[in-house]
Structure 1
């Protein structure tokens, strides 16, 4: 059995995201498993990465001539993971904003804005999954070299490109919201939540690099960012701009999360509470 560099990366992800999943579950149990608590999406992200890595390793025992179901499923898990991480950042920012509203200060970013951004990201996720499924035939041809013995370039469907564009828009909302809150309303942030706002700010540059990598792969033609029909150096760009960036985001968010106090009412349990603090 010969391990490729991608296989070794998957092994490293299993080793890192297994304890990360346990920490994410701990944070969710401490701060709430509600979907708008943010930490639940960290559980979803780490789970998606573990499943995706396992599927990648499962391809070792399957010859390339087999239907590329495992590869497509692994890539779907990566799409789910990126979307979950963006929504996680959005909801954690929402926790900071809710703390401001609880003090009677109106925020420039309202819960309605957040819900709209999350819907946009979810639609992007659906389109990305549809696009990945449509690529299964081309991936099979690329693996087999189209009968010519060398990998072929895979055309990214417009559905995948549109989905990634929506996910980028969702991340742009988080970046804008973080900048606005930091520059205009930092004094109104609750003392304990300032660490969370700082953590979001520190994580965003890594997340931006991660999204840029996906954008270069989906919209560009540079073979360095193409897993099929690309060049051997792709794996190192994938490692540096994709895998490591995600790990840094998780490390920062979980590190900050462990320092936060438990605040059962920090995230609204229902829409009526959001309206109460919305001030609109």
Structure 2
């Protein structure tokens, strides 16, 4: 069994930190709904990647001659930087989802609802998905390129970046630039949000209400709106955009660390064989701060599941006993929903 090196100490710290982060991410994903909570499943994925990478590197203590363990750890390290940027794109999408149907006013306070929608639509969820696909392509290139670089080390004893690694990091840098631009646009529009006329929950993963005749009694809709009113939505949207903006400096440092190895071929910035000081200060700590920010903000958001559960409980409590009778109850519910239309 080999002795503990500084890199192994870092791996132990990562296992401890990301074990708690992984459990918290699972909790948040369950709270906000796994299927519609864009962002949280990516946080789960990133924390899992870091856990597996650290575990593989610690496994080299038992088998220090197993090159496959080093290859796996290096590949997972290269994949993580793109995954954590994808988390921020998804969070920006959540923010846009909250603000899509909001009224936006300028400094003169005269912008109409249509103008507000048009201005915030500059960063649509569809365009953000394009950025996600771009980053996904960079992620795939990074994984394949990292595998080939590690295999080249096995054959020659030198660890150099391949063309695919260069392309993958270049695509990731492009996606990061688009993310910064999109976040700047949203941040400039967000402070002017007025009381909403309803909002899109496509990416927010939260229960929404829209204008028009409610499907439940008026008092239930009012209670739901009071629990989760426009002010709450605007506050949550602002927290999300603040988290995205604050994470940018840390992500930039992390990207610079990758660029120094991929583009400058400086082995001091290798995640496996490089200087451990650079690795800790420019990679490990930066990623931990970003994940910590994301999960702290996530704990402040209104759980989608709690909203749906409260609404179902209110509907059940306020419904009449005869509405639970087959056929008769269905007729009453259909009349309440569509009666005024005829």
Normalising by structure 2, we get a TM-score of 0.69
1:164 matches 2:165:
no
1:89–1:156 CA distance, 2 compared to 1 (3 A):
same
Aligned twin of 2:265: 221
| Contact 1:124–1:166 (8 Å) recurs in 2 | yes
Return 87-96 or 184-193, whichever deviates more: 184-193
1:96–1:24 CA distance, 2 compared to 1 (3 A):
same
| Contact 2:28–2:40 (8 Å) recurs in 1 | yes
| Contact 1:127–1:163 (8 Å) recurs in 2 | yes
2-side partners of 1:36 and 1:86: how far apart? 16
2-side partners of 1:155 and 1:221: how far apart? 7
Return 171-180 or 7-16, whichever deviates more: 171-180
SS, match of residue 61 in structure 1: coil
Count of paired positions = 251
1:207 matches 2:206:
no
1:228–1:255 CA distance, 2 compared to 1 (3 A):
closer
Alpha-carbon offset, residue 129 of structure 1: 1.2
1:238 matches 2:279:
yes
1-side partners of 2:50 and 2:270: how far apart? 20
Task: Calculate the aligned-residue CA RMSD, in Å.
Answer: 2.0
Aligned twin of 1:41: 42
| Contact 1:225–1:237 (8 Å) recurs in 2 | yes
2-side partners of 1:30 and 1:92: how far apart? 16
Alpha-carbon offset, residue 36 of structure 1: 5.9
1:251 matches 2:292:
yes
> Equivalent residues in 2 for 1:186-197 (5 A)?
186-188=191-193, 190-197=234-241
1:13 matches 2:14:
yes
1-side partners of 2:59 and 2:36: how far apart? 31
2-side partners of 1:121 and 1:162: how far apart? 11
| Contact 2:251–2:286 (8 Å) recurs in 1 | yes
Aligned twin of 1:130: 144
Alpha-carbon offset, residue 136 of structure 1: 2.9
| Contact 1:31–1:37 (8 Å) recurs in 2 | no
- Correspondence for 2:130 among 116, 132, 139: 116
Aligned twin of 2:204: none
SS, match of residue 34 in structure 1: coil
2-side partners of 1:178 and 1:243: how far apart? 24
Aligned twin of 1:2: 3
2-side partners of 1:254 and 1:228: how far apart? 27
Q: Deviations over 1:147-186 (max 9, x none)?
A: xxxxx4x221010110111111122222111111112333
Alpha-carbon offset, residue 241 of structure 1: 0.2
Normalising by structure 1, we get a TM-score of 0.83
2-side partners of 1:167 and 1:74: how far apart? 20
1:243–1:35 CA distance, 2 compared to 1 (3 A):
farther
Aligned twin of 1:272: none
Alpha-carbon offset, residue 94 of structure 1: 0.5
1:206–1:55 CA distance, 2 compared to 1 (3 A):
same
1:97 matches 2:96:
yes
Unpaired runs of at least 5, structure 2 = 104-116, 194-232, 308-342
Following TM superposition, where does structure 1 have runs of at least 4 consecutive aligned residues deviating by more than 6 angstroms? Answer: none
Return 188-197 or 88-97, whichever deviates more: 188-197
| Contact 2:74–2:272 (8 Å) recurs in 1 | no
Aligned twin of 1:175: 180
1:243–1:166 CA distance, 2 compared to 1 (3 A):
same
1:27 matches 2:28:
yes
SS, match of residue 300 in structure 2: coil
SS, match of residue 14 in structure 1: helix
Return 215-224 or 87-96, whichever deviates more: 215-224
1:77 matches 2:76:
yes
Which has more radius of gyration? 2
